[in-house]
Amino acid sequence: MTPLLGLAAKSLWSRRITAGLTVFSIGVSVMLLLAVEKVRSEARESFASTISGTDLIVGARGGPVNLLLYSVFRIGEPTTNVSWRSYRMVASHPDVAWAIPISLGDSHRGFRVVGTSTGYFEHFRYGRKRSLAFETGRPFEALYEAVLGADVARTLGYAIGDEITVAHGIGEVSFVNHAEHPFRVTGILAPTATPVDRAVHVSVEAVSAIHAPWQPGGQDRPAAGTPAPPPSLTAEPHGPTPPIEAGGHDHGHETLHERVEVDAARPASSPPQDGQADYPTERGPAPTGITAFLVGMKTPVATLQMQRALNEYRDEPLLAIMPGVTLQQLWQVVGIGDRALLVIAACVVLAGLTGMVTALLTSLNERRREMAVLRSVGARPAHVFALLVLESGLLASAGAMLGVLLAWTGLRVGEPLLERRFGLFFDLTAPSGYDLAVTGVVIAAGLCAGTLPAWRAYRNSLADGLSMRI
């Protein structure tokens, strides 16, 4: 076999232009296959970690995917809210490390407004447990302050200190403009390549405040409509100022309570209609209901217990989901397209190998003399067969290796862009099992494909014998 391998290599070298093109086309197809799979798996990874470090997402009872869609991806609307009381109850549970309210329903020029707490900037995680970072500025402190996601700031050209108004509803054009309450931009977040980039973050109190004048009827927010609170709640007396988040953390939200002077600017004609027991009236209206809330638990076991407890909670129909699990479910649906892409890439590999077979078959006629010479020096037809299989094996191997190289270089070069635009990170230290499998399969397929020209050459050399003429 060794002399044949040398012959195959030298023969290919003598046809290096055609052979080079064949190798290149196989290489490009393999590159495509590898890169598509790399991007695909990284996209899945990145999708699965659109939200990470959050143990539970709690919302009104309904479909888990639906809850995930509106709370994380800001797609669609919940039909019911979660009561502030339930949120407070969970937040103050001893096993809960932190809880962050999410209140949706408003927008600013097509971007969703998210009512939340400053804990959001501290506890929210995405990707590989990355926390949100401020490109510039700081979290909101006063009532009418807002923090913009990177896309919002970039698209609308906002800077710190700009004033924005919030519209009711989520369309580009909204009929109710809460223009009397402009928000001042205090911070802009660094890009995350998650829906966070497309959100305007304000405090939940601010969301309540801008709706306060319309709230009595409860008709104001049809999408995220706040159900009338139970009478028992309104009857409760006002208590001392509690932290918004439970769990003994104190991370800056106290400044929110100190900013009472801002709240004082609020029109006196819009007092909270149903001030809750643990809510200071001077901070703005207490939220009666929120869209959902994110929970970080102290232990994994506590997560499971809390999830069960919430899903079986009698007083209010709640749904608690583990985001990772539901993200995987959602990926089953979203991921179909990229599987199709993988199939296409595999077809391109097939085309590359077909091109190789074509090139080899075409060369056979002019190589009949070469085969006759080989036969005359003692090569058996089997040698001729093996020679051609080796040639295609060499072409496929070179192509596969070129493909790995191209894919690696391509991803290396494209990495910064892919990271910035899509939040994709690539681990390019060592070839993955998949890379090796693809390389192996392509080489094996190349050897198999080589049997066709090899068989032709074998038949030719039997028929030609030694006397192949000009």
Partner 1 sequence: MTETAIEVKGLRFEWVAGEPVLDIPSFVVARGERVFLEGPSGSGKSTLLGLIGGVLPPREGSVRVLGTDLGKLPSTARDRFRADHIGFVFQMFNLLPYLGVLDNVVLPASFSVRRRERAGDVLAEARRLLDALGIGDPGLLSRDVGRLSIGQQQRVAVARALLGRPDVLIADEPTSALDAGTREAFLELLMSECRATGTTLLFVSHDTALGSLFDRSLGLGAVNRAGRARQAA
Q: From the CB of 468, what's the least distance to partner 1, in Å?
A: 8
Here the tokens at position 463 are 């028929």
Binding mask 339-378 for partner 1 (x = CB under 8 A): ------------------------------xx--xxxxxx
Which residue lies nearer to partner 1 by CB, 436 or 462? 462
Q: From the CB of 18, what's the least distance to partner 1, in Å?
A: 13
Here the tokens at position 205 are 């109190």
User: Do 195 and 74 contact (CB within 8 A), yes or no?
Assistant: yes
Q: Where are the alpha helices (DSSP H) in 175-299?
A: 204-211, 231-235, 253-258, 260-264
Examine residue 380 and tell whether it contacts partner 1 (CB under 8 A). yes
Query: What H or E segment, with its residue span, contains residue 111?
Result: strand 111-116
Q: From the CB of 27, what's the least distance to partner 1, in Å?
A: 23
Examine residue 459 and tell whether it contacts partner 1 (CB under 8 A). no
Examine residue 330 and tell whether it contacts partner 1 (CB under 8 A). no
Q: How many CB atoms lie within 10 A of CB 204?
A: 24
User: Which is nearest to 71 in space by CA: 96, 44, 105, 42?
Assistant: 105
Judged by CB under 8 A, which stretch of 49-57, 102-110, 218-226, 462-470 contacts partner 1?
Answer: 462-470
Q: From the CB of 367, what's the least distance to partner 1, in Å?
A: 10
Examine residue 383 and tell whether it contacts partner 1 (CB under 8 A). yes
Which residue lies nearer to partner 1 by CB, 318 or 468? 468
Return the C-alpha torsion angle 295, 296, 299, 303, nearest 10. 20
Examine residue 21 and tell whether it contacts partner 1 (CB under 8 A). no
b/e per residue, 299-334, with b = 16+ CB within 10 A? eeebbeebbeebeebeebebbbbbbeebbeebeeee
Which residue lies nearer to partner 1 by CB, 227 or 381? 381
Examine residue 314 and tell whether it contacts partner 1 (CB under 8 A). no
**Helices and strands (H and E) in the chain: how many:** 16, 14
Return the C-alpha torsion angle 362, 29, 431, 44, nearest 10. -160
Q: Where are the alpha helices (DSSP H) in 53-172?
A: 64-71, 84-91, 119-123, 150-156
Examine residue 3 and tell whether it contacts partner 1 (CB under 8 A). yes
User: Which is nearest to 221 in space by CA: 111, 100, 77?
Assistant: 77
Examine residue 10 and tell whether it contacts partner 1 (CB under 8 A). yes
Q: From the CB of 467, what's the least distance to partner 1, in Å?
A: 5
CA distance 147 to 196: 11
Which residue lies nearer to partner 1 by CB, 324 or 465? 465
Examine residue 17 and tell whether it contacts partner 1 (CB under 8 A). no
Which residues pair with residue 164 across a beta bridge?
183
Q: How many CA atoms lie within 13 A of 91 on its CB side?
A: 21
Which residue lies nearer to partner 1 by CB, 377 or 430? 377
Which residue lies nearer to partner 1 by CB, 56 or 371? 371
Segment 94 to 113, residues that bind partner 1, using CB under 8 A: none
Residue count at the site for partner 1 (CB under 8 A)?
23
Examine residue 13 and tell whether it contacts partner 1 (CB under 8 A). yes
Examine residue 388 and tell whether it contacts partner 1 (CB under 8 A). no
Q: From the CB of 396, what's the least distance to partner 1, in Å?
A: 20
Residue with tokens 């638990």: 297
Q: From the CB of 399, what's the least distance to partner 1, in Å?
A: 21
Here the tokens at position 349 are 């590999």
CA distance 88 to 90: 5
Q: From the CB of 378, what's the least distance to partner 1, in Å?
A: 3
CA distance 353 to 227: 64
Q: From the CB of 25, what's the least distance to partner 1, in Å?
A: 22
Chain residues binding partner 1 by CB under 8 A are 3, 7, 10-11, 13-14, 369-370, 373-383, 465-467, 470
